[in-house]
Chain A
Amino acid sequence: ETGVTQSPTHLIKTRGQQVTLRCSSQSGHNTVSWYQQALGQGPQFIFQYYREEENGRGNFPPRFSGLQFPNYSSELNVNALELDDSALYLCASSWGGTPNYGYTFGSGTRLTVV
């Protein structure tokens, strides 16, 4: 079975720009969650999508938005980038919103905002 793949692996953007990060779920998984991990910190929950609908959101402003597609792949969009948005962005997939099988994480996209 394939794991979770994220693209791109690294990205440099300028403050004020917009960015789109992509995630392909593990085969058989229908739930995708996005996390932001600043240097030296644990991952922080951004939001979760289940069957193409957002069904949970962390403490992030509306300029962080997402999509989930019928094939369960997902995008994270960030508008009006700020320097503090520099972080590792992690995507995780799971089955059915009940992660008893455990989330499978991708290796992340390292975003640098300059």
Chain B
Amino acid sequence: DAKTTQPTSMDCAEGRAANLPCNHSTISGNEYVYWYRQIHSQGPQYIIHGLKNNETNEMASLIITEDRKSSTLILPHATLRDTAVYYCIVGSGNTPLVFGKGTRLSVIA
């Protein structure tokens, strides 16, 4: 079973920041937080991952709380093309990804 809890769906206005929360209260010390997204009819796409520190790349930022029990994925300026299902996944470097149902993000013009 997935070790994360995410809201089922969220809306975001185009051009605004999308903040997607994830709870992972049972995360262990060697486990990373990974974020993937799946646009309709495509395979999941890797976005970002982190262990303890906040991370940023060209797609998004990942904010992990100090106790590591939750995190937030931030898309700074959401576009219509960011409409997708976003998956928050917890795992260690050598275990398969375990997907939950994710959050369906709808970006609205």
Q: Which residues of A contact B (CB under 8 A)?
A: 4, 33, 35, 40-45, 48, 56, 58, 90, 92, 97-100, 102-108
Q: With the chains together, A35 CA to B93 CA distance in Å?
A: 18
Do A107 and B44 touch across chains, with their CB atoms under 8 A apart? no
Query: A48-B96, A56-B95, A97-B94 known; A90 and B43 CB under 8 Å?
Result: yes
Interface: B98 (CB within 8 A): yes
Do A45 and B93 touch across chains, with their CB atoms under 8 A apart? no
Which of the segments B10-18, B75-83, B99-107 contacts the partner chain? B99-107
Residues of A within 8 A of B97 (CB): 33, 43, 45, 92, 99, 103
A102 touches which of B42, B49, B95, B99 (Cβ 8 Å): B49
Residues of B within 8 A of A99 (CB): 34, 93, 97
Do A108 and B93 touch across chains, with their CB atoms under 8 A apart? no
Which B residues, 17 to 64, have Cβ-Cβ distances below 8 Å to chain A? 32, 34, 36, 41-46, 49
A100 touches which of B36, B43, B93, B95 (Cβ 8 Å): B93
Residues of B within 8 A of A105 (CB): 43-45
Quick one: closest B residue to A101, CB to CB? B46
Query: A98-B93, A98-B94, A102-B34 known; A42 and B43 CB under 8 Å?
Result: no
Quick one: closest A residue to B48, CB to CB? A102
Do B93 and A92 touch across chains, with their CB atoms under 8 A apart? no
Quick one: closest B residue to A4, CB to CB? B43
Residues of A within 8 A of B99 (CB): 35, 42-44
Do B87 and A102 touch across chains, with their CB atoms under 8 A apart? no
Interface: B2 (CB within 8 A): yes
Do B45 and A41 touch across chains, with their CB atoms under 8 A apart? no
Q: With the chains together, A99 CA to B94 CA distance in Å?
A: 7
